[in-house]
Amino acid sequence: MTTDTTTASLAVREAASGTARRRITRNDVMMYAAILVFGIVAPIIFPNYTYQIAVLWLMVLFAQTWDLVGGQMGYNSLGNIFFFGAGMYICTVTQIGLFTDVGAYTSSSDGGQFEFSTEQYYIGVAVGLVLAAIGASVLAVMLGWIVFGLRGPYFAIGTLGIALGAGELVGAWEWVGGGGGIPIPVYPGSGDGKAFFYYALCFGTAVATFAFLKWLYSTRFGLAINAIRDDEEKAEAMGIHTLRHKTVAWAISAFFLGIAGGLFGNMTGFIEPLEVAFPVITFGIFMVAMALLGGKGTMWGPVLGAVLFHIIKETTWTYFLGWQWVALGVIIILNIMFFQQGIVGWMQEKWPDLFGIEVDRSLVADTADDRARGRGV
Amino acid sequence: MLDNLNLLALAPLLNIQLLLDGIFIGAIFALAGYGLALVWGVMNVKNLCQGEYVIMGGYFAWYAGTIGIHPILAMPVAVVVMFGFGWVIYRVIISRVVDKDMFTSLLATFGLAIVIQQGLNLAFGPEVQIAQSGLETRSFFDGAVTVSEIRFVSFVICCVLASLIVLFMKNSRMGQAIRATAQDARAARVMGIDTDRVYAFTYALNCAICAAAGVLISMIWVIQPFYGLTHSIRSFVIVTAAGFGNLPGVILAAFGIGVAEQFGGFILGAELQQATVVGILLLVLIWRQALMSRRRQALA
Amino acid sequence: MSNLIEVRGVTKTFGGVVANRDISIDVAPGQITGLIGPNGSGKTTLFNSIVGYHPIDEGSIKFKGKEISKLRVQQIARLGMVRTFQQTRIYGKLSGINNMLISVPHRNASFGDMFRPYGHEHRERAEHLLEFVGLYQKRKLPSGDLSFGQQKLLEFAMALMNEPEILLLDEPTAGINPTLINGLIDRLKRANSEFGITLFVIEHNMRVIMNLAHEIYCLAHGELLASGPPEKIQNDQRVIDAYLGAH
């Protein structure tokens, strides 16, 4: 190789200082700190809205986990909610099954004849959440084997089908309560105590998800799934283990969604298949809408989208007098028609420098071949 | 479940009943499926609100029934109105997503599906409805097999509509333009075909076909604002199995899913009928993937 | 030393159309082998058969003595055989440097390697190679913004990044400004001589291939017409007829 040594060493120094990925700046630290502080003090300042803010963190988690597969990897799933519901049922069944017979518990109409002790409750939740996460990931690996041969619309429809079918199947499964659902073990303490307990778990899980994904996108994995998004056939031709990456990405998404499901089930206090566990046309489509609104394929887009969406939804929903679902559909259509790149995507186009993206301003009307000639190649 | 299987073995006439029901229903599925094949093949739009158009058509018939008009007479009205509706939807929404990537059209039509579902829910309420045709039910084999006359009528109507569509696509100028655009939109544009108009017409035609299917569905089956999604999935199954521009394939696949659903619903129980549809969808997708993996690149 | 690629009696049909009939080709290690032929003579089909893009009907394809005609694209790529595409394919939303990093060889990648960051040596190598193809200045631009010719160079650099034993290039000079072609030929030769990468090149441009290759195979109508060193091919009456007849 005959490169000039000074250029090369300069290049190395630049590379070492992190030109490919943006470094953590002071602004970033400030932003993280602000979010953490808000997350911690929010339930203290707004005690009446603890539940809503806890759900907000779950929404952030939804959007992020969808974006991992849909935005970063380009596999637009319409059925990620499946893992939410699966996690919810796994967690609940574990919580009950550790201490009593699940069939008997679910078949009694109120589930009330069995009292969980405080200790049993916390052990149940802890084990249940762990199993929910693992179980959802295992399901993702198994389903991945089926659906990752599908591309484009077939993948979207296939995953949609899985989520719809799961709701129906669970609805017909008497052992887990069928369509009638299951009452969740009651929290051993005050209502406020319960709200704070689950708030802390929701916030912690959302932060963990963000941190994990932030790290994940900085590894080879991040680039590999971006490559799959941009041109999967090329990625195959370059020898990337595409199926392995796709399956792992989906399993990670499922892992956090499974925890979210377990938490949401406990917060709600009662689970049933169609409206709570596998709500394809509410949470299932929310996660897509939020990621798109914020900007898919970006780190902060899904977070921003989820926060905006949730705040708008919680503050305006009641004024729509039944038209809110129609409004939701309209929002999705308008978003996809006019604002596909999302907020962060739009900001990246407008101020690329802020995001460490370089734009060749000399590119206009200057074909590269001319430039190459000028350089005497 | 095993009891039901046993019953089928013991009473062979029951099989005939399910088979007939499946074919009568399947003929209607074929209409909606062909509509989807049309928009998918011609303009590459994966229309996820296909089922909602069917249900909208159904409400025309049901409404006619409630004001004392025979539901079948609502068909021309439904077809014309839905054709116009489809044209407007194309102009307002679809034309803006038609040249974007595939997820765009999928999600835009999913959003539209939500709007239509909820709109119908607000307008007509969430009850399951049926349009009364007032026709008799005929029994064969001492009542072991029953066929309501309306099913037979609807089957005949399906055949007539399908023939009309085929004749239209073969002989009319617009039909030829649609087929030319499906093959190569750019070439068609160069040859002076107004492809935007072709797209609008195709989409509107799809809506009209769905509306006709919906009118029939409302008379021989049931409609409800949220039943559309299952119809959409059926249409996707049909197109996935049959491909585009393949009418015999569409009809065969539609009969197949109609019959499979009847048997599945009978054996597994009626509450699992939707799950049966989804199961068929997954089977078809897996089958398609198995075909693909015979090419060496499909799986790792 | 035995041949790197040995194609024996390969036949491939699409429907009723025979794209390749009974083709046998050898690619010697360390050399530049050319594949020429008029449009529609089955060059790209043969390429696709070798890299595992579609199954073959008959025959055998061996890479380093190992039968690969049943393997899939990724497995073959991981054996050290990388191809570039006729319609250049890069990851358009990623920057040039990221395009390079993602192309590190995955030959021995274990499961855990997915989650490791890129090492210092990867970045260094990526920048060197970008310098090599003359794209160092543009390394941080989204690669989709590069011109067609530059994308082609980037794809070439990505292939080198993959450290292949053999590189299959499908018309590397197609669509490139004539003034750039000489530079490209020079780089191909250097990739061959300095990095020791065997090249197997489909090329339309006779001047380029005669200048480049040590050994040339000529296809016409899906059959092997002639083979030999450039001088021999250049004067082969059948080759001349095939080209003139096709135009």
Question: CATH number of the domain that B285 lies in?
Answer: 1.10.3470
User: Chain A within 8 Å of B260 (Cβ-Cβ)?
Assistant: no
- Tell me what pLDDT residue A24 has: 65
Restricting to B residues 146-185, those with a Cβ less than 8 Å away from any Cβ of A are none
Averaged pLDDT for residues B14-21:
86
pLDDT digits (tens, 9 = 90+) for C97-110: 999 999 988 887 88
Q: Name all chains with 3 or more CB-CB pairs below 8 Å to chain C.
A: A, B
pLDDT digits (tens, 9 = 90+) for A16-75: 333 344 556 778 888 888 889 988 888 888 888 899 999 999 999 999 999 999 999 999
Q: What is the mean pLDDT of chain A?
A: 84
Q: How many domains does chain A have?
A: 1
CA atoms within 13 A on the CB side of C51: 28
Say yes or no to pLDDT of C132 above 70.
yes
- Tell me what pLDDT residue C14 has: 85
Which position has the higher pLDDT, A372 or A75? A75
The mean-pLDDT minimum among A60-69, A271-280, B82-91, B281-290 falls in: B281-290
Residues C63 and C94 both lie in one domain: no
Averaged pLDDT for residues B15-27:
89
Q: Is residue B299 part of a domain?
A: no
User: Chain C within 8 Å of A227 (Cβ-Cβ)?
Assistant: yes
Interchain contact, A219 vs C91, CB within 8 Å:
no
Q: By the 8 A CB rule, do C191 and C9 touch?
A: no
Interchain contact, B118 vs A329, CB within 8 Å:
yes
Domain region containing A299: 28-318
Of residues B177, B235, B290, B294, the one with CA closest to residue B33:
B235
Of residues B29, B51, B4, the one with CA closest to residue B270:
B4
**Reported confidence tier of residue A364, pLDDT bands at 50, 70, 90:** very low
User: Chain C within 8 Å of A7 (Cβ-Cβ)?
Assistant: yes
- Written as six digits, the tokens of C5 are 């690629």
Nearest to A226 among C83, C85, C94 (CB): C94
Interchain contact, A326 vs B282, CB within 8 Å:
no
Say yes or no to pLDDT of A80 above 90.
yes
Q: Is residue B135 part of a domain?
A: yes
pLDDT digits (tens, 9 = 90+) for C9-67: 999 988 888 889 999 999 999 899 999 988 888 888 999 899 988 888 889 999 988 89
- Tell me what pLDDT residue A86 has: 96
**Reported confidence tier of residue B300, pLDDT bands at 50, 70, 90:** very low
- Tell me what pLDDT residue B83 has: 96
Interchain contact, A368 vs C149, CB within 8 Å:
yes
- Tell me what pLDDT residue A349 has: 82
What's the CATH number where C45 sits? Answer: 3.40.50.300
- Written as six digits, the tokens of A360 are 């060749």
Say yes or no to pLDDT of B268 above 50.
yes
Nearest to A168 among B104, B110, B274 (CB): B274
> Which residues of chain C have a Cβ shorter than 8 Å from any chain B Cβ?
52-55, 70-74
Say yes or no to pLDDT of B44 above 90.
no
Q: Is C52 left (phi over 0), alpha (psi -120 to 50) or beta?
A: left
Which position has the higher pLDDT, B213 or B104? B213
- State which of A122-126, B258-262, B268-272, B288-292 shows the largest mean pLDDT: A122-126
d(CA C170, CA C114): 30
Q: How many domains does chain C have?
A: 2
Q: Is residue C146 part of a domain?
A: yes
Q: Is residue B55 part of a domain?
A: yes
The CA-atom distances, in angstroms, between C50 and each of C67, C73, C147, C221 are: 11, 9, 29, 18
Q: Is residue A371 part of a domain?
A: no
- Tell me what pLDDT residue A6 has: 40
Q: Is residue C188 part of a domain?
A: no
Q: How far is C19 from chain A (nearest CA, A)?
A: 22
Residues C64 and C119 both lie in one domain: no
d(CA A124, CA B21): 49
**Reported confidence tier of residue A359, pLDDT bands at 50, 70, 90:** low
- Tell me what pLDDT residue B1 has: 65
Interchain contact, A149 vs B298, CB within 8 Å:
yes
Averaged pLDDT for residues B224-246:
88
d(CA A348, CA A355): 6
Q: How far is B101 from chain C (nearest CA, A)?
A: 15
User: What count of other Cβ atoms lies within 10 Å of the Cβ of residue B12?
Assistant: 9
Which residues of chain B make contact with C74, given a CB cutoff of 8 A? 300
- Tell me what pLDDT residue C245 has: 62
| Collapsed DSSP state (helix, strand, coil) of residue B95 | helix
Averaged pLDDT for residues B18-32:
91
- Tell me what pLDDT residue C8 has: 92
Q: What is the mean pLDDT of chain C?
A: 88
Q: What is the mean pLDDT of chain B?
A: 87
Say yes or no to pLDDT of C188 above 80.
yes
Q: Is residue C186 part of a domain?
A: no
Which position has the higher pLDDT, A149 or C170? C170
- Tell me what pLDDT residue A181 has: 87
Q: pLDDT > 70: what percent of chain C? A: 98
Averaged pLDDT for residues C178-207:
87
Q: How far is A313 from chain B (nearest CA, A)?
A: 16
B90: CB partners within 8 A, 6+ apart: B199, B200, B203, B204
User: What count of other Cβ atoms lies within 10 Å of the Cβ of residue C145?
Assistant: 17
**Reported confidence tier of residue B26, pLDDT bands at 50, 70, 90:** very high
Q: Is residue A349 part of a domain?
A: no
The mean-pLDDT minimum among A211-215, B5-9, B72-76 falls in: B5-9
Averaged pLDDT for residues A260-278:
92
User: In this structure, are strands A182-183 and A270-271 parallel, antiparallel, or unpaired?
Assistant: antiparallel
Averaged pLDDT for residues A244-269:
95
d(CA A304, CA A312): 12
Residues C76 and C101 both lie in one domain: no
Averaged pLDDT for residues A261-289:
91
Q: Is residue C46 part of a domain?
A: yes
Q: Is residue A159 part of a domain?
A: yes
Domain region containing C37: 1-80+167-181+198-247
Q: State CA C246 to chain mean position distance.
A: 24
Nearest to C131 among A7, A229, A368 (CB): A7
Question: Which of B233, B271, B272, B285 to substitute to test the interface with A, most A CBs within 10 Å?
Answer: B285
Q: How many domains does chain B have?
A: 1
User: Chain C within 8 Å of A218 (Cβ-Cβ)?
Assistant: yes
- Tell me what pLDDT residue A134 has: 97
Question: Which of C44, C51, C88, C91 to substitute to test the interface with A, most A CBs within 10 Å?
Answer: C91
Averaged pLDDT for residues B128-156:
81
Q: Is residue C100 part of a domain?
A: yes
C214: CB partners within 8 A, 6+ apart: C28, C31, C32, C33, C229, C230
Q: Is residue B264 part of a domain?
A: yes
Residues C23 and C95 both lie in one domain: no
Task: Output A305-312 pairs: Cβ under 8 A, ≥24 positions apart.
Answer: A305/A63, A305/A342, A305/A343, A306/A56, A306/A59, A306/A60, A306/A62, A306/A63, A306/A64, A307/A56, A307/A59, A307/A60, A308/A343, A309/A59, A310/A52, A310/A55, A310/A56, A310/A59, A311/A56
User: Chain C within 8 Å of A109 (Cβ-Cβ)?
Assistant: no
**Reported confidence tier of residue A198, pLDDT bands at 50, 70, 90:** very high
Averaged pLDDT for residues A372-377:
36
d(CA A311, CA A46): 14
Q: Is residue C147 part of a domain?
A: yes
Domain region containing B72: 2-294
d(CA B15, CA B220): 19
Nearest to A161 among B97, B110, B278 (CB): B278
Q: By the 8 A CB rule, do B261 and B267 touch?
A: no
Nearest to C74 among B294, B295, B300 (CB): B300
